[in-house]
Structure 1
Amino acid sequence: MNLLLFMTIYTAQSLTTGVPSISLLDEWEVFKTSYNKRYASRREEAARLSTFLANKEKIEQHNAKFDRGEVEFTMAMNQFGDLTREEFAKRMNGYDRAGRMKIKPSFFGNELPIRAYPPGAYIADLFPYGAIPSNVRDPDDYLNEAAIYVAPPENVQLPAEIDWRTLGAVTPVKDQGDCGSCWAFSATGSLEGQHFRRNGSLVSLSEQNLVDCSTNFGNNGCDGGLMDHAFLYVKVNRGIDKEDAYPYEADDSRCRYRTDEVGATDVGYTDIPQGNEKALQAAVATVGPISVAIDASSDHFQFYHKGVYYDPTCSSEELDHGVLVVGYGTDKLTKRDYWLVKNSWAESWGDMGYIKMSRNRHNNCGIATAASYPLVK
């Protein structure tokens, strides 16, 4: 690296802001060490340094707005500090909005419906976590035919807040790495929660199993996919392996599914009415962790740290990232309603891997646009 050029930049900043306790050079070295950054050449490192400094300035400007009460969340430097917004979105956001409800016609020679299932009944309320009534036909047939979403009765009062982490239904935060497999982490998270509610045991499931083995269902491994496609794969495959038997590799590989290492199964999935935050709240409260897709393309999201996230520029239709809603509540300081969302970018991102996203603010970032959960019997 051209140290003279770097020190010129550093000196210019020091003259206007005062000498910081840690120099920019030290900050850059700490950043590289903390996140194990390696660059192929000095030219590449110089380019990454330039991006790092630009991101650092964005973060500081945003946090100054927070201090003035103009925004309600803070930002912080993290492992994505050397990526531009465009690079970040391309690398990390793998939700395939364009592929929603498109499924390849065969899997190991078995014919599949092109449209999977229509939006299913609210089966958790029709048959709450117990035996399915004897007058109901086979659940698979029922789910194939159900097309009406049945919400909880109006006289059922939902809790003001819920956090499925405290109830034992959420595994620790995971890390998708340099792979657009967010959809797989969202899907396993929802299935882990449903398996816990049915069986009382929390089993970490294999995202790599989905990355490697669900391509015939419309998913594309590290190049993107859909949670619903993952749920359908698990149904037809009659299971998904446990994470410890099929560990994550952050890369596409051959399918190595083992029938003797199954951690969970499902019988299909239910799509929650599009854009309906009240329906999403009911599902989170009565069903458990719910898979959702959001617009996470903003650099505000890239460097989110704490507070209730709201982005007026967010799209409710152009979704690019799969995450998991594990609860909801109201912020005690700002009185803002929020969704408690588990991400798959390690604990070094956000608030220990989580983000509070705005709730009841016109479906901000599309959090209720493509919500679904697997059905486990």
Structure 2
Amino acid sequence: MNRLILLSIIMLMPLCLAQDISVEKLLAYNKWSSQHQRVYLNEHEKLFRQMVFFENLQKVKEHNSNPNNTYSIGLNLFSDMTKQEFAEKILMKQDLVDHYMKSISQKETHNDVNIETQLNSKNLTLATSIDWRTQGAVTSVKYQGNCGSCWSFAGAALMESFNFIQNKVLVDFSEQQLVDCVISANGYQSEGCNGGFSFETLDYASKVGITTLDNYPYVEVQKKCNMTGTNNGFKPKQWIQVPSTSNDLKHALNFSPVSVYVNAYNWVSYQSGIYNGSDQSNIVFNHEVLAVGYDEQGNWIVKNSWGPFWGEHGYMRLAPNNTCGILNHIYQVTA
């Protein structure tokens, strides 16, 4: 046995006895903390994080032992966080989203023709299933870090996919440019790591252009906007808000990936399977992701921004219909 692991077990044995914590759980914690390179400020914080980890480990075992569950959960980079901390550090600030969702309806659409014409829905035969990853239209899964900047990742991903469909070139765009520049000083209501709106990234990029990730790397915090001029790369010309029905979302996904707002409060430990664990009676919006398709059973396929080691290699499958509020706020680039 590794000497460091053995020493940790010996030092924590009194605490383990008091908390009914097994050597098996300690070994699981040491393996996990080594894998995720956890370093804490002091022993008090370390002990607290261990207790949180043990509690989350127990939840994983209990959930996965129930054969009626359609999805599994597991340990990941968030396993030493409470759900409240996860919401505070990773998700968008609820008051920001709640305050602005009602006031942005007039800014959500930027097109000169009817939505139905844009999607060509009358003439389009829906595919039984569609997955834009198989067509090379989706960039690699990114990691937003401890910053509620999911909206910038959803906006960048939306433009990346449309750029590929239109120009046959897959380029990683700069989320940091969006975090730094889609701000109140430039006339927007997005607030960096507190949260924001992908349709505002489209408005910004249509005027200024969005540069590449290589040119403007992501740093997990909001900084001063380091972009001048009005010809900085890809510029979307038209975009729409897609009507809030399953059929309309499927029509849209037959045209291109779309960005969607969701309630991701219970996503923290998702590992695989068809997720149906949201409270449909109380849908709040605190996260934005890219929908890249649906399968033959109508499950939605979404690309997240929590890294490739979360979920199904950074992706998630949501149960059909309005699971997690996926149908309420859908945005699509159309030109």
Q: TM-score, normalised by structure 2?
A: 0.88
SS at match of 2:222: coil
Partners of 2:261 and 2:328 within 8 A in 1: yes
2:91 and 2:71 map into 1 onto residues whose CA distance is 21
Write the mapping of 1:273-312 to structure 2, written as runs, cut at 5 A. 273-274=243-244, 276-286=245-255, 288-298=256-266, 301-312=267-278
Residue identity matched to 1:218:
Q
Alignment of 1:189-208 (within 5 A): 189-208=157-176
Residue 76 (str. 1) matches residue 44 (str. 2):
no
Alignment partner, residue 151 of structure 2: 183
Q: Percent identity?
A: 31
Q: Aligned residue for 1:111?
A: none
Q: Per-residue deviation at 1:205?
A: 0.2
For 1:1-377, what aligned pairs fall within 5 Å after superposition? 3-8=12-17, 12=20, 14=22, 23-65=24-66, 68=67, 70-94=68-92, 96-98=96-98, 99-100=100-101, 102=103, 115-116=106-107, 119=109, 143=111, 146=113, 149-150=116-117, 152-154=120-122, 156-216=124-184, 217-237=188-208, 239-257=209-227, 262-274=232-244, 276-286=245-255, 288-298=256-266, 301-314=267-280, 317-330=283-296, 336-360=297-321, 363-376=322-335
TM-aligned CA deviation for residue 60 of structure 1: 0.7
Question: How far did residue 164 of structure 1 move?
Answer: 0.5
Secondary structure at the aligned position of 2:107 is classed as coil
Work out the CA distance in 2 between the residues paired with 1:310 and 1:319. Answer: 16
Partner Cα distance (2:157, 2:277) in 1: 25
Structure 1 Cα separation of the partners of residues 87 and 242 of structure 2: 26
Give the Å deviation of 1:325.
0.5
Deviation at 1:355, TM superposition (A): 0.4
The Cα offsets for residues 42-76 of structure 1, whole Å up to 9 and x where unpaired, read as 111111111111111111100001xx2x1111111
SS at match of 2:65: helix
Read off the aligned partner of 2:332 and give its amino acid letter: Y
SS in 1 for 2:300: strand
- Where structure 1 has 5 or more consecutive residues not aligned to the other structure, the ranges are 104-113, 121-142, 331-335
Q: Give the Cα separation in 1 of the matches to 2:307 and 2:281.
A: 25
Cα gap change, 1:359 to 1:304, in 2 (>3 Å): same
1:148 to partner: Cα distance: 5.2
Distance in 1, Cα, partners of 2:281 & 2:175: 27
For the Cα contact (< 8 Å) 1:203–1:242, is it kept in 2?
Answer: yes
- Return the alpha-carbon distance in structure 1 between the equivalents of residues 207 and 141 of structure 2: 27
Q: Is the 8 A contact 2:207 2:235 kept in 1?
A: no
Q: What stretches of structure 2 of length at least 5 have no aligned partner?
A: 1-7
Q: What letter matches 1:338 in structure 2?
A: N
Query: Is contact 1:173-1:344 (8 Å) kept?
Result: yes
For 2:121 and 2:239, how far apart are their aligned partners in 1?
Answer: 21
Size of the aligned set, in residue pairs, is: 319
Q: CA RMSD in A?
A: 2.3
Q: CA 1:187/1:315 → structure 2, altered by over 3 Å: closer, same or farther?
A: farther
